[in-house]
């Protein structure tokens, strides 16, 4: 989201308008989504009020869990979003710069509502670095070690986005996801790259993801959630059908 | 008027939003005098058992809940609000309200703890038509590291599996309690709350 609208980019740039977040949230709730994720990609102080409003309105309308992230720097930022009705809050740049943010939030609100949002990009073979500031800054820190450290600090879940595959619709990043799920014992949500039904099957079977996130595909109605779930069910991946 | 009990822990808003959606009058309250005026009580909860008990004792809400349940007020406990009804929790080794005999144990499995996500509920018995219009093995949303082990197995009306089979919903007289979050479980969850309201409050 940016300035209260849903947008979707390709490899974190070239954002395209996708609609009204509250209406879309309601639509996905009915469609059978298991969880909603809102990420405020511009997340400036001015936009904070818009975000809180969107969260409040969404909380009134949907009945599935949803997590919200973007620009979270302090425990108070997180409290504001939770109070507005989010079930979980994701931290990214703010937590990387100040890892204590994770432990403080986990102690205050419980591990289950602290999600580490990790944007990773391949820098060489079997090496992915953490990128912050909306994917613009290479931290030169390994994504695998940051994932491990964040979980140790209290992150209850990891939203793992592969910048390389984001918006490309050529499949999730199986290698990266597998490498992260292997070293942490919290749920990992794979994000970035879903383009066809098989991609969902592969990220669960080969990537060992606990959940998969897709945006463009659903926003632009190329696939429906129902279709994806039926496909997975027929291949013995446990799904919730509504 | 349904009273949602505020004892300083999270997730009150989503229960209130759910009742609003169903068009049911409700209010979030923390003062024990006013709570007694409710026609039904909901004890929600995300948080730790020791913090939860500490907050309940500090405000005197513990005695009030025990009393309200004793006089037969319809009561719904959700997640931690279910666990606190038991005798004792392994979480911080804390003594709880002791309204239901039994213990709260930690998942001891190779699976990821806390359990965060959707899981199936296998219904064993439909006391009070709680599962009307809800197919058996429907999925509900869970967030828990601990689970309840009631001594009296006959109060269990639904079970789920997460490394072990555990009690995910129970009914004992005027008490209904769920380990999952019906307020976060989509349309099926709404239906369950609707069923509870109908069964408990229409009589």
Using a CB-CB cut-off of 8 Å, the residues of chain B touching A110 are: 10, 46-48
Buried b (16+ CB within 10 A) or exposed e, B22-53: eeeebeebeebeebeebebbbbbbbbbbebbb
Q: Is B68 a catalytic residue?
A: no
Q: How far is B72 from chain A (nearest CA, A)?
A: 29
Asked if A182 is an interface residue toward chain B (Cβ–Cβ < 8 A), one would say no
Instruction: Tell me the pLDDT tens digit for each residue of B121-159.
Output: 999 988 878 999 999 999 999 999 999 999 999 999 999
Q: Across-strand partners of B27? A: B3
Using a CB-CB cut-off of 8 Å, the residues of chain A touching B133 are: none
Q: What is the pLDDT of residue B203?
A: 52
Q: What is the pLDDT of residue A13?
A: 87
Torsion angles phi and psi, residue A27, rounded to 5: -60, -45
CA A99 from centroid of its chain's CA atoms: 19
Report the Cα–Cα distance between both ends of chain A, in Å, rounded: 27
Calculate the alpha carbon distances from B186 to A180, A241, B7, B96, B140 in Å.
30, 11, 25, 30, 8
pLDDT tops 90 at residue B31: no
Of B79, B96, B148, B167, catalytic: B79
Q: What is the pTM of this model?
A: 0.91
Q: How far is B76 from chain A (nearest CA, A)?
A: 18
Using a CB-CB cut-off of 8 Å, the residues of chain B touching A83 are: 13
Please tell me which residue, A8 or B72, carries the higher pLDDT value. Answer: B72
Instruction: Tell me the pLDDT tens digit for each residue of A9-51.
Output: 888 888 888 889 999 999 999 999 999 999 988 876 667 778 8
Torsion angles phi and psi, residue A240, rounded to 5: -95, 120
Rounded to 10 deg, the angle between the A225-234 and A21-31 helix axes is: 30
Q: Is B183 a catalytic residue?
A: yes
Using a CB-CB cut-off of 8 Å, the residues of chain A touching B48 are: 110
Average pLDDT for A120-147: 96
- Where do we find the tokens 């994806």? A228
Q: Which helix (H) or strand (E) holds B19?
A: helix B12-21
From CA A24, how far away is CA A31, in angstroms rounded? 10
Express as a percent the part of chain A with pLDDT over 70: 99
Which CATH architecture group holds B2-201? 3-Layer(aba) Sandwich (3.40)
Q: Is B96 a catalytic residue?
A: no
ipTM of the prediction greater than 0.90, yes or no: no
Any idea which fold A6-234 has?
A: TIM Barrel (3.20.20)
Q: Which helix (H) or strand (E) holds A104?
A: helix A100-109
What tokens appear for A129 in the block? 């670095």
Asked if B133 is an interface residue toward chain A (Cβ–Cβ < 8 A), one would say no
Instruction: Tell me the pLDDT tens digit for each residue of B189-201.
Output: 999 999 999 988 7
Check B112 against A240: CB less than 8 A apart: no
Helix (H, G, I), strand (E, B) or coil at B102: strand
Check A63 against B190: CB less than 8 A apart: yes
Q: Which of A95, A71, A77 is nearest to A149 (CA)?
A: A95
Q: How far is B30 from chain A (nearest CA, A)?
A: 17
A-facing residues of B in 154-183 (CB < 8 A) are: 181, 183
Express as a percent the part of chain A with pLDDT over 90: 80
HSE at residue B67, side-chain half, CA atoms within 13 A, is 9
Instruction: Tell me the pLDDT tens digit for each residue of A151-199.
Output: 999 999 999 999 999 999 999 999 999 999 999 999 999 999 999 999 9
Asked if A154 is an interface residue toward chain B (Cβ–Cβ < 8 A), one would say no
From CA B58, how far away is CA B66, in angstroms rounded? 15
Helix (H, G, I), strand (E, B) or coil at A125: coil
Size of interface A-B (CB pairs under 8 A): 65
Residues making up chain B, counted from first to last: 203
C-beta neighbour count of A50 within 10 angstroms: 18
Using a CB-CB cut-off of 8 Å, the residues of chain A touching B190 are: 63
From CA A39, how far away is CA A37, in angstroms rounded? 6
Using a CB-CB cut-off of 8 Å, the residues of chain A touching B117 are: 34, 187, 210-211
Residue A121 CB burial class (10 angstroms; 0-12, 13-18, ≥19): buried
> What is the chain B residue with the closest CA to A184?
B112
Picking from A55, A65, A209, A242 by the largest number of B CB atoms within 10 A of its own CB, the best residue to mutate is A65
In chain A, domain spans: 6-234
Q: Across-strand partners of A190? A: A160, A212
Helix (H, G, I), strand (E, B) or coil at A148: helix
Mean pLDDT over the full length of chain B: 93
B-facing residues of A in 32-71 (CB < 8 A) are: 32, 34, 59-60, 63-65
């Amino acid at each position: 989201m940016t300035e209260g609208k849903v947008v979707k980019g390709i490899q974190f740039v070239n954002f395209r308008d996708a609609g009204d977040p509250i209406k879309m949230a309601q639509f996905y709730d009915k469609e059978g989504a298991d969880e909603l994720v809102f990420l405020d990609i511009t997340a400036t102080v001015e936009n904070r009020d818009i975000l809180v409003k969107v969260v409040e309105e969404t909380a009134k309308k949907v009945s599935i869990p949803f997590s919200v992230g973007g620009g979270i720097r302090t425990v108070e930022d997180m409290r504001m979003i939770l109070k507005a009705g989010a079930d979980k809050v994701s931290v990214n740049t703010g937590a990387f710069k100040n890892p204590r943010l994770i432990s403080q939030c986990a102690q205050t609100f419980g591990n289950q509502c602290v999600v580490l949002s990790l944007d990773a990009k391949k820098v060489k073979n079997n090496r992915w670095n953490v990128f912050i500031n909306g994917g613009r800054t290479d931290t030169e820190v390994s994504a695998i070690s940051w994932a491990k450290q964040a979980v140790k600090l209290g992150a209850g879940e990891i939203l793992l986005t592969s910048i390389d595959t984001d918006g490309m619709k050529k499949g999730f990043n199986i290698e990266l996801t597998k490498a992260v799920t292997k070293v942490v014992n919290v749920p990992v949500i794979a994000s970035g790259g879903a383009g066809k039904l098989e991609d969902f099957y592969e990220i669960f079977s080969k990537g060992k993801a606990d959940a998969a996130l897709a945006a463009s595909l659903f926003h632009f109605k190329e696939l429906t959630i129902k279709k994806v779930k039926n496909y997975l069910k027929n291949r013995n991946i446990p799904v919730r059908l509504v | 008027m349904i009273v949602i009990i505020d004892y300083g822990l999270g997730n009150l808003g989503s229960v209130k939003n759910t009742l609003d959606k169903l068009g049911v009058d409700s209010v979030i309250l923390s003062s024990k005098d006013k709570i007694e005026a409710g026609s039904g009580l909901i004890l929600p909860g995300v948080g730790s058992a020791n913090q939860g008990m500490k907050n309940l004792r500090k405000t005197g809400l513990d005695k009030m809940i025990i009393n309200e349940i004793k006089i037969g007020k319809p009561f719904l406990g959700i997640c931690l609000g279910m666990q606190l009804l038991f005798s004792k929790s392994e979480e911080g080794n804390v003594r709880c309200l002791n309204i239901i005999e039994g213990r709260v144990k930690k998942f001891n499995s190779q699976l990821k703890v806390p359990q965060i996500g959707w899981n199936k509920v296998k219904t064993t018995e439909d006391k009070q038509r709680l599962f009307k219009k809800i197919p058996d093995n429907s999925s509900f949303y869970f967030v828990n590291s601990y689970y309840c082990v009631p001594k009296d197995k006959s109060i269990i009306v639904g079970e789920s599996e997460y490394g072990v089979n555990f009690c995910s919903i129970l009914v004992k007289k005027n008490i209904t309690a769920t380990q999952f979050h019906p307020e976060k479980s989509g349309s099926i969850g709404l239906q369950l709350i609707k069923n509870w309201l109908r069964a408990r409050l229409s009589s």
